[in-house]
Amino acid sequence: MVSISKIQAQNSSHFSRFFIPSDSFNKNKTIVASSFAVVAYSAFSSGLYYAWYKNSTLSKLHSFDDRGEWFEMDKCGHVYDGYFQSALCYQGARWCGISENKSIVLGVGTAMLFQSTIELFDGFSDKWGFSWSDMAANCIGAGTFAIQQKLWKKQFVQIKFSTYPVKHPANQIIQERTEKLFGNSLGEKLLKDYNAQTYWLSFNPFAQQNKNYKYWPRYLQLSLGYGVNHLYGGYENKWKDENGTEVILDPLIYPRYRRYFLSLDIDFKKLPVRNPFLKTIFHVINIVKLPFPALEYNRVNGFEFHPLKF
């Protein structure tokens, strides 16, 4: 008679093996991965339309130049999206047993499909337009992944993201402006408020030595971050309210400025974990920068220390 614990162990083993990348092309896994990609793309496109474009007036396909807007935070977002989507889609292809080179192509191609969809939506919207600089940022992100993977079969430099709700000044005009720009829900504020976001380059300073160094854990990384503060307009803090009255914030009270950070991070892929399911989870969450103490520099306040920077 087989014990219940043994059956559970066997089931757990089968479950874990499912997440192990195949050595050769696996048709069943490819069907699963392709189905997931189709569902994800459909959900992404639908969610994007209802979140950003539903209330916009459609126009002919057109382009516009938004370089320099929002202190390039939107461009950082495109670089990040191109990078992490390429990385995750590559991992999915490798899980199916697809070759290294083809997986890189599939990863980059899928990421560019997702990002090009955003640009087409923008291109048909009267509020925005197709942005060539956005597409260039997408290519930089995807290229950063592809070049490292092709040359070294690993990612020495990883692009990551963090966000945390910002407490804006208790000013009614600013509160109304932030609600209009960034929304009211927590999710909207985290994803739309550039003041709440930070983009990071995380790397292990000793990774290229290929040695088991003694004083620096393989999973510990240095991280360089970039963020902004007091941005309530694309190019300047000036806009018209609902009555058509022009609003201009005093730049001495609400200065727009860039923020630079030095912090630490964890490379989840380097943690000594053998369970295939956990390794898969760690690959996914590795696109997010963990909260750590950080040193900030900005032109307004100089150097500042954050006991915990999200």
Per-domain residue ranges of the chain: 23-155, 158-310
Whole-number Å distance between alpha carbons of 164 and 179: 16
Residue pair 282/269 in contact (Cβ under 8 Å)? The answer is yes
Q: Provide the token pair at 257.
A: 């400025």
pLDDT of 3 strictly over 60: no
pTM of the model: 0.92
Residue in 144, 115, 119 with CA at minimum distance from that of residue 130: 119
Q: For 48-59, what is each residue's pLDDT tens digit?
A: 777 777 777 888
Q: For 174-192, what is each residue's pLDDT tens digit?
A: 999 999 999 888 888 888 9
Percent of the chain residues past pLDDT 90, beyond the cut: 73
* Mean pLDDT value of segment 227-241: 96
Amino acid at 44: F
303: exposed, middle or buried (C-beta count within 10 Å: 0-12, 13-18, 19+)?
exposed
What is the number of alpha carbons within 13 Å of residue 267 lying toward its C-beta? 23
Whole-number Å distance between alpha carbons of 66 and 46: 25
Q: What is the pLDDT of residue 209?
A: 65
